[in-house]
């Protein structure tokens, strides 16, 4: 019995020693300090300062590219339309054939005019022969002077008939050219107003075209600012499909306002080197003056958790996220309505991994 108790006591003491040694080793394992557990190396960033800058005071007006002129093509003669060649929306070149009028009627008139001219020439030839013969006979008093006068009068009438027939022939031959209607300028077909088989009559439009030469931008502005603008003033123009502004000028100011909208029409030139299509949308930026405003470069703006903001650099060279409220944009500068003040250092193009409180190495922008 005593031996059993001694064995149990020895086992308990041995287990206690093992537990003590195990826990002593665990306590001696080095542990990282709390700040070392979240350690991130400093990130090199490019910075710039919020600055006070002259920011243009603008009125932005939407509009569209318009044709220099709209052309309605009609026939100069009456006749049935045998062919209407271009589809709506097609671009046609100058002198390109667009419409053909059935020429049968005109060709018939030409044949009649030629026949009438032939008869008139025959009559004139006979009348002249009579004048020659009567002149000889009058020398011997074989005919009266009255007969000679009538012969000469017949020549005058026949001459007039020949001239009239030739004029009619020339007119109908000219009409033959009118059976083909061609585009006067490079243009786009915007509407068919007739179709093949219809009767074309003078003055009734068949096609409507819009010229593709010298297009311009057309917009409307409030009458209250019309006096702040002038012909020749430079206007940045943002056109559909072109991200960069186009340098344009005001070419026309209509100083009479629409009685309902109280707006005036403005035309703006489009440089020859700019390729655009009539109907393209865009907007014009009318500069009415300047204001001194705090601004940042657009590269500083980011969005975190749906909030617009910037990363600033504090006195300890740590990145701090600050929300902002932005206003107008101009040449890659953004107006700050609320947020960091002038002189605050902001980070440009911040990396997506940058977090509030990260240490940074500052590299000023060049």
Give the domain CATH number at 51.
2.40.420.20
Query: Does the pTM of the predicted model rise above 0.85?
Result: no
Which position has the higher pLDDT, 39 or 223?
223
Q: Which of 289, 313, 330 is the last residue of a domain?
A: 289
Asked if the model's pLDDT at residue 222 lies above 90, the reply is: yes
2 found inside a domain: no
**Looking at residue 29, what is its pLDDT?**
46
The fraction of the chain above a pLDDT of 70, given in percent, is 89
Q: What is the pLDDT of residues 16-67, one digit of tens each?
A: 554 444 454 444 445 444 455 456 788 888 889 998 888 888 889 999 998 8
- What is the b/e burial string over 174-201, where b = at least 16 CB atoms within 10 angstroms of the residue's CB? ebeebbebebebebbbbebebeeeeebe
Q: What's the domain count of the chain?
A: 4
**Looking at residue 21, what is its pLDDT?**
45
Of 10-19, 125-134, 192-201, the poorest mean pLDDT is in 10-19
Contacts of 237 (CB under 8 A, 6+ apart): 217, 245, 246, 247, 248, 268, 270, 282, 283, 284, 285
Q: What SS3 string covers 88-139?
A: CCCEECCCCEEEEECCHHHHHHHHHHHHHHHHHHHHHHHHHHHHHHHHHHHH
22 found inside a domain: no
Q: What is the pLDDT of residues 322-342, one digit of tens each?
A: 999 998 887 788 889 999 999
CATH number of the domain bearing residue 230: 2.40.30.170
- Domain check: are 94 and 186 in the same one? yes
**Which of these, 292, 152, 268, lies nearest to 218 by C-alpha position?**
268
Mean pLDDT of the region 138-145? 82
195: containing domain: 71-102+179-212
**pLDDT class of 9 with cuts at 50, 70, 90:** very low
- Domain check: are 257 and 342 in the same one? no
10 found inside a domain: no
In whole numbers, what is the pLDDT of the chain averaged over residues? 84
Q: Which of 195, 212, 229 is the last residue of a domain?
A: 212
**Looking at residue 141, what is its pLDDT?**
81
Q: Which of 289, 308, 334 is the last residue of a domain?
A: 289
**Looking at residue 268, what is its pLDDT?**
93
Asked if the model's pLDDT at residue 8 lies above 80, the reply is: no
Which position has the higher pLDDT, 153 or 244?
153
Which position has the higher pLDDT, 82 or 142?
82
Mean pLDDT of the region 148-154? 88
**Looking at residue 18, what is its pLDDT?**
44
C-alpha separations of 334 from 50, 297, 342 in Å:
10, 6, 13
**Looking at residue 81, what is its pLDDT?**
93
- Domain check: are 48 and 168 in the same one? no
């Amino acid at each position: 019995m005593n031996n059993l108790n001694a064995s149990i006591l020895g086992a308990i003491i041995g287990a206690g020693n093992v537990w003590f040694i195990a826990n002593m080793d665990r306590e001696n394992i080095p542990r990282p300090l709390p700040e070392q557990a979240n350690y991130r190396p400093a990130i090199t960033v490019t910075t710039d300062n919020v600055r006070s800058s002259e920011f243009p005071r603008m009125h932005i007006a939407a509009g569209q590219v318009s044709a220099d002129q709209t052309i309605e093509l009609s026939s100069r003669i009456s006749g049935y339309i045998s062919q209407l060649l271009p589809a709506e929306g097609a671009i046609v070149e100058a002198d390109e054939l667009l419409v053909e009028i059935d020429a049968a009627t005109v060709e018939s008139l030409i044949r009649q005019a030629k026949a009438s001219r032939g008869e008139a020439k025959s009559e004139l030839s006979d009348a002249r022969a009579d004048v020659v013969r009567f002149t000889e006979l009058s020398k011997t008093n074989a005919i009266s002077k009255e007969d000679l006068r009538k012969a000469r009068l017949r020549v005058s009438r026949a001459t007039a008939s020949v001239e009239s027939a030739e004029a009619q022939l020339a007119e109908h031959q000219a009409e033959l050219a009118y059976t083909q209607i061609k585009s006067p300028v490079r243009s786009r077909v915007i509407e068919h107003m007739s179709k093949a088989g219809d009767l074309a009559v003078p003055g009734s439009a068949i096609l409507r075209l819009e010229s593709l030469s010298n297009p311009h931008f057309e917009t409307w502005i409030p009458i209250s600012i019309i006096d702040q603008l002038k012909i020749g003033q430079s206007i940045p123009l943002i056109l559909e499909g072109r991200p960069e502004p186009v340098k344009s000028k005001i070419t026309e100011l209509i100083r009479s306002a629409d009685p309902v909208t109280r707006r005036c029409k403005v035309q703006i030139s489009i440089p020859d080197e700019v390729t655009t299509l009539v109907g393209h949308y865009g907007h014009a930026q009318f500069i009415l003056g300047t204001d001194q405003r705090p601004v940042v470069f657009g590269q500083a703006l980011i969005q975190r958790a749906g909030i617009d903001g910037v990363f600033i650099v504090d006195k300890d060279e740590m990145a701090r996220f600050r929300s902002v409220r932005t206003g107008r944009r101009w040449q890659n500068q953004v107006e700050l309505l609320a947020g960091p003040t002038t002189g605050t250092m902001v980070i440009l193009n911040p990396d997506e991994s940058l977090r509030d409180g990260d240490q940074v190495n500052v590299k000023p922008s060049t």
